Amino acid sequence: MVDNKFVRAVFPGSFDPITNGHMDVIQRSVKIFDELIVAVGDSPSKDALFSGEQRVAMIQELISEMPEVKVERFTGLTVEYVKSKDAQVIVRGLRNLTDVQYEFQLAMTNRAVSGVETVFIMTDEKYGFTSSTLIREVGRFGGDVSSLVPASIYTKLKERLQALGR
């Protein structure tokens, strides 16, 4: 007999900025899980282009038609945040083979220290090369990243880079 268990998943990341690849993972995740929390992490080691509040607001705008998705900020260890939300699963997007090695090690560590499982979701192949870091870098040098991020994010990215004189 199958138990209809409610499954809450957490999709953690910096989302600086959120990309079409991230949105692809979100859209695939809501087909699998009852609830998805997009957890916007604040990492002191990263030089963020957008503040945590700005990243949350941008994502909330994008998921406004998805009632099963919530967006929250967090600091600290991802597994501690996941446990505090009574979530059963961490969602991680995979783009390419380079991601697999890193994400596999991270998933094994997370499971060993907390018992939390990780589910990997492959992004569409057209996003296999896309990363927030790459988008920020190309954008800083005036490259066209409009096909890599949602339209509203592209506008905000251009405005932010202009404000910073880049």
Dump pLDDT digits (tens) for 63-76: 999 999 999 999 99
Q: Which two tokens stand for residue 62?
A: 């994008």
Q: Give the pLDDT band (50/70/90) at residue 1.
A: low
pLDDT at 65: 95
In this prediction, residue 51 has a pLDDT band, given cuts at 50, 70 and 90, of very high
Known catalytic residue: 29? no
Which of helix, strand or coil describes residue 11?
Answer: strand
Q: Which of 46, 126, 140, 166 is catalytic?
A: 46
Check 55, 92, 95, 136 and give the catalytic one. 95
DSSP structural state of residue 4:
-
Count the Cβ atoms, other than its own, within 10 Å of residue 78.
20
Active site (annotated) includes residue 22: yes
With residue 121 as reference, give the H or E element that holds it.
strand 117-122
Q: Which of 22, 55, 136, 156 is catalytic?
A: 22
The answer to whether 28 is a known catalytic residue is: no
To the query of whether residue 85 is one of the catalytic residues in this protein, the response is no
Q: How confident is the model at residue 145 (pLDDT cuts 50, 70, 90)?
A: very high
Inter-axis angle of helices 132-140 and 151-163, nearest 10: 50
Across residues 138-157, what is the average pLDDT?
94
Q: Domain 8-129: give its CATH architecture.
A: 3-Layer(aba) Sandwich (3.40)
| pTM (whole model) above 0.85 | yes
